[in-house]
Amino acid sequence: MTYNIAILGASGYTGAELIRLIAGHPFMAIKALGGNSKAGQSMATVFPHLRHLDLPDLVSMEEIDFSGIDLCFCALPHKTSQEVISSLPKDLKIVDLSADFRLRDPQEYERWYGNPHAALEQQAEAVYGLTEFYREEIKGARLVAGTGCNAATGQFALRPLISAGLIDLDDIILDLKCAVSGAGRALKENLLHAELSEGYHAYALGGTHRHLGEFDQEFSQIAGRPVKVQFTPHLVPANRGILATVYVKGDAQAIHKEMKKAYSYEPFIEVLPFGEAPSTRHIRGSNFCHIGVVGDRIEGRAIVVAALDNLTKGSSGQALQNANLMLGIPETEGLMMAPLFP
Amino acid sequence: MTYNIAILGASGYTGAELIRLIAGHPFMAIKALGGNSKAGQSMATVFPHLRHLDLPDLVSMEEIDFSGIDLCFCALPHKTSQEVISSLPKDLKIVDLSADFRLRDPQEYERWYGNPHAALEQQAEAVYGLTEFYREEIKGARLVAGTGCNAATGQFALRPLISAGLIDLDDIILDLKCAVSGAGRALKENLLHAELSEGYHAYALGGTHRHLGEFDQEFSQIAGRPVKVQFTPHLVPANRGILATVYVKGDAQAIHKEMKKAYSYEPFIEVLPFGEAPSTRHIRGSNFCHIGVVGDRIEGRAIVVAALDNLTKGSSGQALQNANLMLGIPETEGLMMAPLFP
Amino acid sequence: MTYNIAILGASGYTGAELIRLIAGHPFMAIKALGGNSKAGQSMATVFPHLRHLDLPDLVSMEEIDFSGIDLCFCALPHKTSQEVISSLPKDLKIVDLSADFRLRDPQEYERWYGNPHAALEQQAEAVYGLTEFYREEIKGARLVAGTGCNAATGQFALRPLISAGLIDLDDIILDLKCAVSGAGRALKENLLHAELSEGYHAYALGGTHRHLGEFDQEFSQIAGRPVKVQFTPHLVPANRGILATVYVKGDAQAIHKEMKKAYSYEPFIEVLPFGEAPSTRHIRGSNFCHIGVVGDRIEGRAIVVAALDNLTKGSSGQALQNANLMLGIPETEGLMMAPLFP
Amino acid sequence: MTYNIAILGASGYTGAELIRLIAGHPFMAIKALGGNSKAGQSMATVFPHLRHLDLPDLVSMEEIDFSGIDLCFCALPHKTSQEVISSLPKDLKIVDLSADFRLRDPQEYERWYGNPHAALEQQAEAVYGLTEFYREEIKGARLVAGTGCNAATGQFALRPLISAGLIDLDDIILDLKCAVSGAGRALKENLLHAELSEGYHAYALGGTHRHLGEFDQEFSQIAGRPVKVQFTPHLVPANRGILATVYVKGDAQAIHKEMKKAYSYEPFIEVLPFGEAPSTRHIRGSNFCHIGVVGDRIEGRAIVVAALDNLTKGSSGQALQNANLMLGIPETEGLMMAPLFP
Please indicate whether, in this complex, the C-beta atoms of D338 and C288 are within 8 angstroms of each other.
no
Chain B CB contacts of D195 below 8 Å: 185, 193
C-alpha–C-alpha distance, residues B55 and B31, integer Å: 8
Residue of A178, A151, A152, A309 lying closest to A235 (CA atoms): A178
According to CATH, the superfamily of the domain at A3-147+313-326 is NAD(P)-binding Rossmann-like Domain (3.40.50.720)
Asked if domains C3-147+313-326 and C150-310 share a fold, the reply is no
- What confidence score (pLDDT) does residue B186 get? 86
**pLDDT-based confidence at A1, cuts 50/70/90?**
confident
Cβ contact D166:D246 at 8 Å? no
Using a CB–CB cut-off of 8 Å, the residues of D that contact B are 13, 180-181, 183, 185, 187-189, 191-198, 237, 239
Cβ contact D13:C302 at 8 Å? no
Q: Which residues on neighbouring strands pair with residue B5, listed in sequence order?
A: B30, B71
CA-nearest residue to D229 within chain A is A298
Close Cβ partners of D60 (under 8 Å, ≥ 6 residues apart): D34, D36, D39
Sequence-ordered alpha helix ranges (H) in chain B: 13-22, 43-46, 80-87, 106-113, 120-125, 131-139, 149-163, 193-196, 211-223, 252-262, 317-327
The closest CB to that of B52, out of A49, A288, A341, belongs to A288
- What confidence score (pLDDT) does residue A260 get? 98
CA-nearest residue to B197 within chain C is C238
Please indicate whether, in this complex, the C-beta atoms of C303 and B205 are within 8 angstroms of each other.
yes
CA-nearest residue to D235 within chain B is B193
Burial of B115 (0-12, 13-18, 19+ CB in 10 A): exposed
Task: Name the amino acid, one letter, at A116.
Answer: P
The closest CB to that of A298, out of D230, D240, D243, belongs to D230
- The total number of residues written for chain C in this structure: 342
- Report phi then psi at B134, rounded to 5: -130, 25
Chain C CB contacts of D47 below 8 Å: 341
CA atoms within 13 A on the CB side of B133: 18
- pLDDT less than 70: residues of chain D: none
Cβ contact D239:C342 at 8 Å? yes
- Report phi then psi at B216, rounded to 5: -60, -50
Question: How many H helices and E strands in chain A?
Answer: 11, 14
C-alpha–C-alpha distance, residues D243 and D231, integer Å: 13
pLDDT along chain C (342 residues), means of 10: 96 97 97 94 97 97 96 96 96 98 97 96 97 98 98 98 98 98 91 96 96 98 98 98 98 98 98 98 98 98 98 98 98 98 96
**pLDDT-based confidence at B60, cuts 50/70/90?**
very high
The SS3 of residue A95 is strand
Using a CB–CB cut-off of 8 Å, the residues of C that contact A are 13, 180-181, 183, 185, 187-189, 191-198, 237, 239
Please indicate whether, in this complex, the C-beta atoms of D338 and C19 are within 8 angstroms of each other.
yes
The closest CB to that of A239, out of C185, C197, C239, belongs to C197
Please indicate whether, in this complex, the C-beta atoms of D338 and C284 are within 8 angstroms of each other.
no
Å between C40 CA and nearest CA of chain B? 34
Q: C-alpha D191: how far from its chain's center?
A: 20
Please indicate whether, in this complex, the C-beta atoms of D175 and A171 are within 8 angstroms of each other.
no
Å between C295 CA and nearest CA of chain A? 35
Close Cβ partners of B124 (under 8 Å, ≥ 6 residues apart): none
- What confidence score (pLDDT) does residue A36 get? 87
Compute the mean pLDDT over every residue in chain A, rounded to the nearest whole number.
97
C-alpha–C-alpha distance, residues D151 and D145, integer Å: 12
In a mutational test of the C interface, the residue from A11, A189, A192, A240 whose CB has the highest number of chain C CBs within 10 Å is A192
CA-nearest residue to C187 within chain A is A187
C-alpha–C-alpha distance, residues C283 and C279, integer Å: 8
Residue spans of beta strands (DSSP E) within chain A? 3-8, 28-34, 58-59, 71-74, 93-96, 127-128, 143-145, 173-178, 201-202, 230-235, 242-249, 269-271, 289-295, 301-308
Please indicate whether, in this complex, the C-beta atoms of B238 and C199 are within 8 angstroms of each other.
yes
Residue of B303, B283, B301, B281 lying closest to B292 (CA atoms): B303
Q: Using the predicted structure, report yes or no on whether residue A158 has a pLDDT greater than 90.
A: yes
Model-level ipTM above the cut of 0.95: yes
Burial of D108 (0-12, 13-18, 19+ CB in 10 A): middle
Q: What is the DSSP secondary-structure string of A107-162?
A: HHHHHHHSS--S-HHHHHH-EE--HHHHHHHHHT-SEEEPPPHHHHHHHHHHHHHH
- What confidence score (pLDDT) does residue D79 get? 94
Residue ranges of domains in chain A:
3-147+313-326, 150-310
Please indicate whether, in this complex, the C-beta atoms of B208 and C297 are within 8 angstroms of each other.
yes
- What confidence score (pLDDT) does residue D23 get? 95
Q: Using the predicted structure, report yes or no on whether residue A3 has a pLDDT greater than 90.
A: yes
The angle at the Cα of C287, spanning C285 to C290, to the nearest 5 degrees, equals: 100
- What confidence score (pLDDT) does residue C120 get? 96
Please indicate whether, in this complex, the C-beta atoms of C13 and A194 are within 8 angstroms of each other.
yes
Please indicate whether, in this complex, the C-beta atoms of D189 and B185 are within 8 angstroms of each other.
yes
Residue of D56, D84, D78, D86 lying closest to D68 (CA atoms): D56
Cβ contact B328:B275 at 8 Å? no
What is the crossing angle of helices B211-223 and B149-163, to 10°?
20
C-alpha–C-alpha distance, residues D85 and D61, integer Å: 11
- What confidence score (pLDDT) does residue C31 get? 98
Q: How many interchain CB pairs under 8 A, A with B?
A: 91
Q: Using the predicted structure, report yes or no on whether residue B1 has a pLDDT greater than 90.
A: no
Chain A CB contacts of D303 below 8 Å: 202, 205-206, 230, 232
Touching chains, B (3+ CB pairs < 8 A): A, C, D
Cβ contact A242:A177 at 8 Å? yes
CA atoms within 13 A on the CB side of D267: 17
Between strands C242-249 and C173-178, the pairing is antiparallel
Q: C-alpha A109: how far from its chain's center?
A: 18
Please indicate whether, in this complex, the C-beta atoms of A237 and C193 are within 8 angstroms of each other.
yes
C-alpha–C-alpha distance, residues D59 and D5, integer Å: 14
C-alpha–C-alpha distance, residues B17 and B318, integer Å: 11
Rounded (to 5) percent helix, strand, coil in chain A: 35, 20, 45
CATH 1.10.760.10 fits A150-310, yes or no: no
In a mutational test of the C interface, the residue from A14, A17, A41, A193 whose CB has the highest number of chain C CBs within 10 Å is A193
The residues of B annotated with a catalytic role in the active site are 149
* Average pLDDT value for residue range A99-121: 97
- Which 8-state DSSP code applies to residue A163? H
**CA-based R_g, chain B, Å:** 19
Cβ contact B278:B264 at 8 Å? no
Å between C310 CA and nearest CA of chain A? 13
Chain A CB contacts of C185 below 8 Å: 189, 192, 194-195
Dihedral of CA atoms D188, D192, D195, D200 in degrees, nearest 10, equals 80
Torsion sign (Cα): A86, A91, A92, A96: positive
Please indicate whether, in this complex, the C-beta atoms of A191 and C189 are within 8 angstroms of each other.
no
Q: Using the predicted structure, report yes or no on whether residue A186 has a pLDDT greater than 90.
A: no
Chain C CB contacts of D341 below 8 Å: 16, 20, 47, 49
Å between C102 CA and nearest CA of chain D? 26
Burial A307-339 (b: 16+ CB within 10 A, else e): bbbbbbbbbbbbbbbbbbbbbebebebbbbbbb
Task: Name the amino acid, one letter, at A46.
Answer: V
Q: How many interchain CB pairs under 8 A, C with D?
A: 90
Residue of A7, A9, A149, A240 lying closest to B342 (CA atoms): A240
